[in-house]
Chain A
Amino acid sequence: MDALAEIRGIYFDECDEFLGQLESTLAAIADGRAKTDDIHAAFRAVHSIKGGAGAFGLSQLVEFAHLFEACLDALRSGRIAVEDAPIDILLQAGDILSEVVAAARDGGSRPPPPALVEALEAMAGGKPQPKGSATEIDLLNDPVDEAPAAEETPAPAAPVAAKHSVELRIAPDRDVFRRAFNPRMVFDTLASLGSIEVTCDTSKVPTIDTLEPFDCCLSWSVRLETDASDQVLAETLDSFLADHEFRIVRDGEDDVPVIGEIEAAAPETAAAVQPDDAGANPAAAAEKPVAAAAAQATAPPLANGSGPVRRHGGGTIRVDLDRIDRLMNLVGEIVITQSMLTERANVLPKRDAAAFVDALFSLARQTRELQDNVMAVRAQPVKVVFQRLPRLVRELERSLGKKAHLVLAGEDTEVDKTIVEELADPLIHMLRNSMDHGLETPQERLEAGKPADGTIRVSAEHRGSRILICVSDDGRGINRERLIAKARSRGLIPADAPDPTPEEADNLIFHPGLSTAQTVTDVSGRGVGMDVVRRNVEALGGRITVESTPGKGCKFTLGLPLTLAVLDGMIVRAGTERFVFPLSSIVETMQLDSKMVEQLPGGRHIMQLRGEIAPLLKLRDLLGIRAIGNEPNVVIVETETVRRLAIAVDEIVGQQQVVVKNLESSFRRVEGVSAATILGDGLVALILDVDALPGLSQTQRRAPTTSELTGAA
């Protein structure tokens, strides 16, 4: 059963791919740029989802996929012209299909909306078969019942369970041997249902001078003692024979001979029948009656194997994600062991230390390489997320009354799975922002001398150990004057302060509560836009920046680490505990100089930092650590709300890459802590959530400054 669960896992993974394909092909259909191939691909995606669902008995999914497939088949076969396709219904069906898949994955149920089912049924039933398709669907849910031959077989009045005798007439087409047919397959199959006696009718075999050796001129009559119903018999024969090639005659019925359809078979067909094959050789088969027992006795031993050679289908294998995670954990542990060894190296006598340290360097390099390789296994192309965007743009076009070309680049850029998962939300938000606020209406664009359709470009590329995602548009750019006016009216910029620089003004877009849209739309909402994006991105150790040229357009650049599984950290000590600051949030570290510190009347401390004021907090106070020490060091960090925050610690231990261990899954979310890691001595250290630190100090209330408001410079 484990193997089945594994395949089930593969199935649902594959479903995601099919749903992705479906979405992009439906998008193409909606855009009117669909080629025949796209329609076929959409059909196959749904068909494959259905096929797998059948294998796992997911009847709701089978049913819905079947209906959807029937609609796509109508397009594929041209029964419904692509231009006339109810695209909204198809898109909705695509959405519902993914929901039904998701429900099936979770073992739940997601009945499709009846209205949609009706609409799909109407479309599927469309032209030639006005009503029949609905019953077909029911049939397919129970594949045992679906053999059409069963309907045409003269069914007995009552189902028979007891042993009875039945006569089967088998008269295959003349060219039956050209499909590698061997009558013995049929006899053996029947023999598995009861005892049989086979009589061969050779009367139609011509004389030797006119005999065409590859034609089948034989017919057989099989008497079968069985408890199988006629339906089972029909199904059995149906695997090998066409409906007209066999007939079930019950005792007492008229013994009407079956006349095989004699087709003028193309004689030049090069199909060969092995002459020594008893069943296929007319002469040998002519011995009558042929007992099934004898046939079985001469059967060659089965599956005697053609050597132990196992061939693989291709150059890739699918691996369960759990296994890779386990591998990643192991690499993490090796990293820990390695830093343990490094610590021990310090206590070795100098003579031994040199060689040991050399070996450690090699180990460090190899571990790093191992880690990179495991990371590479976990890597996924950003395409997974990008392929959702065309659909989004189309929806936005409709709801906003704008037109946009979406240009995607670098879709094959790979990042760790953890980042791919986190990428979707910010990306969708950025794209919405560009569509909603960036692009002008077609009318405005024409007036501004631009093409009516806007262009949005989304690209991905590697830059060092980060991935850069750019979303740029050729719209109106950020309305700086408006942003500044708004910030002033809300007191975010003091009345007497000079106007911020253009860059600072543009960055106001990331400030909570500021939105440039004249009207609040349901797309970008009321001011919940880029500030949320920035917060989420920074929570991932990323950065987001904006460049805007008024009238020309706007470009958001999103930089994210390639993985969330490891992190470059700065280890510090407060009291007896060690903590990890993500290196990405650290501006600098320094020794605390009392001359730089001032106490404010409320008791709070601030630090002068090259003209900037940074609130000064003690890490031990923030985290409630009981310890003595004089905290001679400060770590200056940049947080979401406070541009410069000084955190006093006892010691700066050093810089190190750490393996990120989720704390929520082992305990719960802890305020001020984003995760945990295991250090070289095997002890756990907490990774700090820098953005949450200002909030942890309840007494500390920050004084806003202009530079703070403008966010990241």
Chain B
Amino acid sequence: MSLAMTSGPEGLDVDPTRAGKPQQIVTFKVEGRTFGVDVGAVREIKGWQPTTPLPNAAAHVLGVINLRGAIIAVYDLRQRLGLGPSPVSRSSVVIVLDLGERYGGILVDAVSDIVDILPSDLRPAPDVAGDGDDVLTALLVKGDDVVALLDLAAIVRETTHDMAA
């Protein structure tokens, strides 16, 4: 699986030459923290529906769902961030993303907002090896809030250490 995320529609480069071009970010909450993806990558936002689990997949792979006749995999962002499995609640939503070669969904607690940002607002993600930190591409300071922008390729990646038994 090789998805060229930086060149994809959701690519958020911190290239200063593009500092003037505003971008729109869909932000959402997981465990009280705010995350964001480029609005261009978001295909739709839908309520939770039961997933069909896949044998021998990583723990953050919840399974597959039927999206109007197409089959897409749904990933648990909380699990991927090392925060344990998501409790599914009424406000839980699946954000359907264009991952380049395919669609995929991420399960999040709630969608917050769509915000306009300038690429110059972005700060590179701190390079500390923490659980789940590899899914961040950049940070964005918005008032008191810090929005962590996600590397979509990293979310769907199944690393060997988190493979389910």
Contact = CB atoms under 8 A, between A and B. Distances in A.
Check whether chain A touches chain B (CB < 8 angstroms).
yes
Interface of A: 329-330, 332-333, 336, 577, 622-625, 661-663, 665-668, 670-673, 676, 678, 682-686, 696
A419 B64 CA distance: 26
Given A624-B165, A684-B64, A661 B71 contact: yes
Contacts of B56: 623-624, 670-672
A670 B71 contact: no
Contacts, number: 72
B126 interface: no
A584 to B, nearest CB: 22
Given A329-B70, A673-B54, A684-B63, 11 more contacts: A333-B68, A577-B53, A624-B55, A625-B55, A663-B71, A667-B57, A667-B71, A683-B50, A683-B52, A686-B52, A686-B55
Given A661-B71, A684-B71, A670 B55 contact: yes
Contacts of A624: 55-56, 164-165
A670 B52 contact: no
B69 interface: yes
A622 B52 CA distance: 16
Given A624-B165, A676-B64, A668 B1 contact: yes
B5 to A, nearest CB: 17
Given A624-B164, A666-B73, A684 B66 contact: yes
B72 interface: yes
30 contacts: A329-B69, A329-B70, A330-B69, A333-B69, A336-B69, A577-B52, A623-B55, A624-B164, A625-B53, A625-B55, A666-B73, A666-B102, A667-B64, A667-B71, A668-B1, A670-B54, A670-B55, A670-B56, A670-B57, A671-B55, A672-B55, A672-B56, A678-B66, A678-B69, A678-B71, A684-B64, A684-B65, A684-B66, A684-B71, A686-B54
A275 B71 CA distance: 71
Nearest to B164: A624
Could you say which of A624, A667, A671, A686 has the most chain B C-beta atoms within 10 Å of its C-beta?
Answer: A667
Could you say which of A329, A336, A622, A668 has the most chain B C-beta atoms within 10 Å of its C-beta?
Answer: A668
A661 B52 CA distance: 14
A3 B27 CA distance: 38
Interface string B99-143: 001110000000000000000000000000000000000000000
A137 to B, nearest CB: 38
B64 A663 contact: yes
Contacts of A662: 71
A666 B64 contact: yes
A668 B165 CA distance: 18
Contacts of B53: 577, 625
Interface string B45-85: 00000111111110001011110111111000000000000
Nearest to A578: B52
Contacts of B64: 663, 666-667, 676, 684
Contact of A667 (B50, B54, B66): B54
Contacts of A661: 70-71
Nearest to B165: A624
A229 B121 CA distance: 57
Nearest to A673: B55
A624 B64 CA distance: 16
B42 to A, nearest CB: 18
Nearest to B64: A684
Q: How large is the interface on B (under 10, 10 to 19, 20 to 34, 35 or more residues)?
A: 20 to 34
A432 B164 CA distance: 44
Interface of B: 1, 50-57, 61, 63-66, 68-73, 101-103, 164-165
Contacts of B73: 666-667
Contacts of A665: 101-102
Q: Can you list the 10 inter-chain pairs with the closest CB atoms, starting with the nearest?
A: A623-B55, A684-B52, A667-B73, A666-B71, A333-B69, A678-B66, A661-B71, A684-B64, A676-B71, A329-B69
A332 B55 contact: no
B69 A666 contact: no
A332 B51 CA distance: 20
A682 B57 contact: no
A685 B66 CA distance: 10
Given A624-B55, A661-B71, A676-B71, A682 B66 contact: yes
A666 B66 contact: no
A661 B103 CA distance: 14
Nearest to A671: B56
B85 to A, nearest CB: 13
A684 B53 CA distance: 9
A205 B55 CA distance: 94
Given A624-B165, A665-B102, A332 B69 contact: yes
A684 B72 CA distance: 10
Could you say which of A672, A684, A686, A696 has the most chain B C-beta atoms within 10 Å of its C-beta?
Answer: A684
Contact of A666 (B51, B57, B103, B164): B103
Could you say which of B50, B51, B69, B70 has the most chain A C-beta atoms within 10 Å of its C-beta?
Answer: B69
A330 B71 CA distance: 14
B14 to A, nearest CB: 30
A659 to B, nearest CB: 9
B52 to A, nearest CB: 4
Nearest to A326: B69
A421 B1 CA distance: 24
Contacts of A684: 51-52, 63-66, 71
A661 B57 CA distance: 19
B20 to A, nearest CB: 29
A414 to B, nearest CB: 26
B78 to A, nearest CB: 20
